[in-house]
Structures are given as structure tokens and as C-alpha cells.
Amino acid sequence: MKKLVIMLTPAAMLVLAAPFAIAQESQTPAPVAVDTAKALSEWDKVYAVFSHPRCADCHVADERPRWSGAHYGGTRVHAFNVQRGADGSGFGSPGLRCMTCHFSSNSKALHGPPGAENWHLAPAEMAWFGKVLGRNLRPDQGSLAQWQPQLEGYRGACSRRQTGRLGLGAGIGS
């Protein structure tokens, strides 16, 4: 009898849940009103993070991270021949991994290296260095759609990795 109850329980659950599943599938979602001005205003906040040197400098298409920002006087290739690494991991070459200088937290020295757990270059397919200029990546220009899958996948990972806190760009500049 106990075996019969165990075997019939999943079947009973399926039979009882079926009407609810069908009801959910038949509902059409309510139309969403889009406030373009507000969306662009919010996008400007996201753009400020993506274009900030702390993010953009490691989102490169080639093998070399960049140094940029006002205190560098422009953009230049990272010193010390730092590269993505032959294994493609983005953690650097053996003997000179990113974590050699980029520790688990920011340096306290003025213009010292920023830090976060597992510091490394973003995958090459996530390159946006030099692409996030002006309105290139603005949603009103239609180009955001091509980036959406990658941005969604990296949004949380980048913010936690680069800042040690949740939230896109939290602590940028700190």
C-alpha cells in the first residue's frame, strides 16, 4: 500500500497542477509603457560605469589591457607586458598573473592598482573598450540589443568582481 501511495502521489500532483499551468499560459501580459526620457536617463548611469576606465580598460578585443584616466594623461597599453595569457583565461601569463598586483581589495596608495577577487581581463567577446563612446551603445540607437545577452551575463559578475559589492558600478571611483 505504501508503494502504491508513493507511485500515485506524483501523478496526483500533475493532475492537480495542470489547470493552474494552463491558466498561466493563456494569460497575455499587460502592455508595458516605456518612458524613453527616463530610460535614457537611467542608461546614462549605466554608460558612466561601462565607460569608466576601471571597467573599460579590461574589456579589450586584443590581448593587452589598458591604463587610462585623467592621471595617466590619456590611454596607453598596460605596462610590464601584461597580456591575456596563452591559455585565454584572461588571468595573465604564467609568472605575471593579474593578481600579482591586483589583490582582493583596492590599493590604499594614491593611483595604486584597483583590486577585487579573481581580477582578470574580460573575455574577448565582451570587448567594449573604444566602443562605448558618445551614443554608440545607447538603447535609442538600437545597438544595445546586440549587447544585451552579454551584458546580462556579466552585469552581476562584473560589479561583484570589480567592486566587491553588489550592484552595477557600486564603488566606481572609490
Quick check: is 14 in a domain?
Answer: no
174 residues of the chain, pLDDT tens digit each:
777 667 767 766 766 766 766 766 667 777 888 788 888 888 788 878 877 888 889 988 899 999 988 778 888 999 999 999 988 889 999 889 999 999 999 999 988 888 988 899 988 888 877 764 444 454 444 445 555 555 554 444 444 444 433 333 333 433
Quick check: is 32 in a domain?
Answer: no
pLDDT computed for residue 149 by the predictor? 53
d(CA 38, CA 99): 39
Domain that holds residue 101: 37-163
pLDDT computed for residue 106 by the predictor? 92
Cell numbers given for 5: 501511495
Quick check: is 152 in a domain?
Answer: yes
Quick check: is 11 in a domain?
Answer: no
Quick check: is 171 in a domain?
Answer: no
Quick check: is 22 in a domain?
Answer: no
Q: Let me know: does 50 contact 137? Beta carbons within 8 Å.
A: yes
Rg (CA), the chain: 23
pLDDT computed for residue 83 by the predictor? 93
pLDDT computed for residue 92 by the predictor? 92
Q: How many domains does the chain have?
A: 1
Enter the pTM of the model. 0.56
Quick check: is 82 in a domain?
Answer: yes
pLDDT computed for residue 5 by the predictor? 64
Quick check: is 113 in a domain?
Answer: yes
Per DSSP bridges, beta strands 76-77 and 92-93 are unpaired
Q: Which residues contact 170 (CB under 8 A, 6 or more apart)?
A: 159, 163
pLDDT computed for residue 77 by the predictor? 93
